[in-house]
Chains A and B, each alone.
Chain A
Amino acid sequence: MTPALDRLRGGAPAKRHNARTIAALTANPGCTRRAVLDAAGIDKPKLAQHIGFPGNFGQSRFALARGNGFEAMLKADDCALLLSVLRDALGLDTPEVSYDDLGEDADDTLRARHGRTRKLLAAAAGAALIDHPLLTLDVAGRQVFLEPDLIAFQVEGRLHVVEIKSFAIVDGQADSAKVSAAAVQAAVYVLALRRLLAELGHDPSLVSHDAVLVCPRDFSLQPTAVLVDVRKQLSTLTRQLKRLASVSDVAEALPQSVSFDLSLPPADLIASLRHVEARYAPECLSACELAVHCRHEAAGTTAALGRPVRDALGGVDTVEEALALAAGARTPTEEQVEAAALLQAAARLRAEVLGS
């Protein structure tokens, strides 16, 4: 982490990343505000709350309980059930599989756990399930620990990332949004594992790009495993992480007055936010904690109505400008000529049909 990014955060400790937050980075790659805030490790939910635009990102405890219950069931008796579905999915007949649990999530054991993870992976022999391995990834020039929420399955010299999710696969089909979110998260782990293997002097391609997704089947709690090819997600992620590396330059170019120290009054924070450009789209509402504020800021722009609307309006920036062009009350710039003609034709047709 560069000093410029650290300064933005004020006295607060950097927010830890996990696969979910890193996966979220790929959602709106054009947004500088999000890139800067995430790279600086700023607590966005708290920031949004503090400036009066709280997001709605609660999670039902029923969903958490079911997820935890499903995972516990799979991992009981040294992962007996998990192994049986993995054997089916990967077509294995390996009789003996070792199981190593590298321990529960706790801040003070991060380094030790990472060390043991490296040691286990360096050994790389035989079939093994490695639970809670601790991986690291470079995000914006800073090494972050990935919250251990995964199992790496090592068999025949190859490593597979195993993601346990509690959404159901009914008749071979599942909610596509949930599957793609799981695929991006799995890609984060694949990437981190590959980088670790490369560091240890192994061939990174030993980590398979086929992640294993383990979900309940139909309406029961019976697990089923499917392979998900995450190559596409991997390339998106790699590109986005590379882009994030240049964020420290953006941060350094910001005026000294810009700070996201949560002890500052809301007005100052909002002023600081204005210095870092956002690219709001309605999709942000379900992905970014700061979206409600950005939407408020983007009021009156065509982008706030959604990308398809903006495109259909010929890429004109604001609603006011689009309507003025449609009414012929504004002279279009050179690149707006075509859009203006289309808008005027559309306005004429609407007026003709609606009789106004």
Chain B
Amino acid sequence: MSTLTALARAQARAEGRAQPIATVRHLHLHARPFVFIPYAMAGEANAPLAALAGTGPDDPRLLVVAQPRNRDDRFAFAAELAGLLLPYVDSFTAVAEAVAVDRGRDVRYRYVDAPQLWVPNTGGVDFIRLFGRSTRFRTTEGEYAVPAGVPLLGRWLTFFAGSAEVPGSSLLLNAVQALSSHWATGQSSAEDAQLAALMAWLRPPPGRSVLEAAAAAEDPAVTPPAGPATDPSFDNHVLAPLLSVAEPDVAELSEVLRAQLLPTWRLMWQALDLLGTLPPGARVASRWDGDRDAFSAFAQHVAEGGPPQPRRDGAVAAAARLSRLEAAATRYAVQRAFDDPLVMAEHRLAGAAFAAEVTLAKADRIDDSGKRPVLRPRIMVVTSEPVRVEPGAALTSPARPGQKATVVSVTRLDGTKTEVLLELSGGMGRKLVAEPGSVPEVGERILLTTLSEAYRPGGAFPEPDQTPWTHGGPPAPAALPE
């Protein structure tokens, strides 16, 4: 936790209301999201109990498993969920756009929009991952046949759960994480993990103080949990008597489960509303483009009859995936800072960025020491913030992300001020005279950071049949059918 966020928490506690830790929204907010609140049966391995799902606040669909220990009832639930989710996913595969690739030498197509799932918390993401695992290998034929649509549901759920691991992806989001990356409350993150307690700080019910609302949010008798785990006393006193008979009364079961799930349903839409009050960050749309790419690629994989995702990745696939996740994490951290001065402030506090004033600028400086003369303007900046860069370091300014500023010298003026001489390259047009406005002018206040959006090539990975012995060697060839 950064000192800046910790300070926001302390301020929230002292003032009795949540404090912003972001000035823009760092995630894509869909106009028609699919909200899904699952409840699982206690003790069972991710056996569904009930769920509320839907794409509008006034239209929650309740799915109930009549007898959670009965396999057929569980797959009937999966089929019903498939009946809701698959048409939603399919609705985004109607219109595609052409995207130039390979420097315009080729095009590929991606859908103009993609689905977006919302669950209350990380437990909901785990539920989706495990439910995907338990359904995607099923077959719709033979002795243990499951209803049509169930294996496909499993593959889509697995796709969404996988994308939730990618930092900056907005295909599957959880409300707790989304809210707590934009606001700090005056309680601990352990308490924030309960959606109701978090929302109590962000939007307390009218007539209640934040602390009263947070206390009420923690009492499961007043505020049912957001799932997937149920309230044990609800299990023992309400659910157990209903499920103790061979043929449970589905109407009554539906009624009690709806009552448990509805408060969270309302909170979810409030949470989405609240996130909608923030303007989107400038780089959110480009990340959503990436999500649309991922969605289009997977939709195509499914349409072409590709196999379901494996139980576990092979060594090469796992290493490649890890590398992609690391790259995404770095990119997301940099983009957040470039989009949001409050996030950049954390880097300023840590010494990875500083705000400075331009005191000298030579915009027409030409470096003719090489074969061809090149435009290399120099500027002098002065800052009172701590500067932890060495000559030779490359800096970037969020206002001119395409321009590199190389540190020529760093001079401490007195106890508080530091003078930094910078040489600029890039982002000034192709001529030997800089485009107007592309070189910072004297008196301009700019922000400089060691963070960079520059493209970083991914690692090179061998083919699976070249897996080195350190990683278990090439996988055994698939057994031939007898």
Interface residues of A (CB under 8 A from B): 56, 58-67, 166-168, 170-172, 216, 218-219, 282-283, 285-286, 300, 302, 304-306, 308-314, 319-320, 322-323, 326, 342-343, 345-347, 349-350, 352-354
Contacts and interface: CB of A to CB of B under 8 A. Distances in A.
Nearest to A221: B45
Instruction: Report, as a range, how many residues of chain B touch the other chain.
Output: 35 or more
Contacts of B11: 323
Given A66-B43, A172-B312, A354-B20, A349 B345 contact: yes
B45 A170 contact: yes
Contact of B349 (A300, A319, A342): A342
A309 B23 CA distance: 21
A322 to B, nearest CB: 5
Contacts of B233: 58
Given A59-B232, A62-B235, A170-B45, A346 B10 contact: no
Given A60-B236, A354-B342, 13 more contacts: A62-B44, A62-B240, A166-B43, A302-B6, A305-B187, A306-B188, A308-B189, A309-B1, A323-B10, A326-B10, A345-B349, A346-B7, A350-B342
A308 B189 CA distance: 10
A313 B10 contact: yes
Contacts of A283: 190
Interface of B: 1-11, 13-14, 20, 23, 41-47, 130, 133-134, 186-191, 218, 220, 230-233, 235-236, 239-240, 311-312, 341-342, 345, 348-349
Contact of B10 (A65, A218, A219, A305): A305
A345 B383 CA distance: 14
A64 B42 CA distance: 9
A222 to B, nearest CB: 11
A64 B235 CA distance: 11
Nearest to B385: A345
B43 A349 contact: no
Nearest to A216: B45
Closest 3 CB pairs of A and B: A63-B43, A168-B45, A58-B232
A309 B342 contact: no
Contacts of B46: 168, 170, 219
Nearest to B355: A352
Contacts of B9: 305, 309
Nearest to B221: A56
26 contacts: A58-B232, A60-B42, A60-B230, A60-B236, A62-B42, A65-B43, A66-B44, A171-B133, A285-B191, A306-B1, A306-B189, A306-B190, A308-B1, A309-B6, A309-B9, A309-B188, A312-B1, A312-B3, A313-B6, A322-B10, A323-B14, A346-B7, A350-B345, A352-B345, A353-B341, A353-B342
A326 B14 CA distance: 13
A310 B218 CA distance: 23
Contacts of B130: 170
A346 B385 CA distance: 12
Contacts of A343: 3, 7
B188 A170 contact: no
Contact of A282 (B191, B236, B349): B191
A347 B8 CA distance: 9
B346 to A, nearest CB: 8
B186 A353 contact: no
Q: Which has the most chain B C-beta neighbours within 10 Å: A60, A319, A354?
A: A60
Contact of A347 (B2, B7, B348): B7
Contacts of A302: 6, 10
Contacts of B232: 58-60, 63
A300 B13 contact: yes
Given A62-B42, A62-B235, A342 B189 contact: no
A218 B11 CA distance: 46
B14 A319 contact: yes
Q: Which of B7, B220, B342 lies at the interface centre, i.e. has the most chain A CB atoms within 10 A of its CB?
A: B7
A64 B240 CA distance: 12
Contacts of A353: 23, 341-342, 345
B233 to A, nearest CB: 5
Contacts of B188: 282, 304-306, 309
Contacts of B230: 60
Contacts of B44: 62, 66
Contact of B348 (A60, A313, A349): A349
Contact of A219 (B13, B23, B45): B45
A177 to B, nearest CB: 12
A350 B45 contact: no
A171 B311 contact: yes
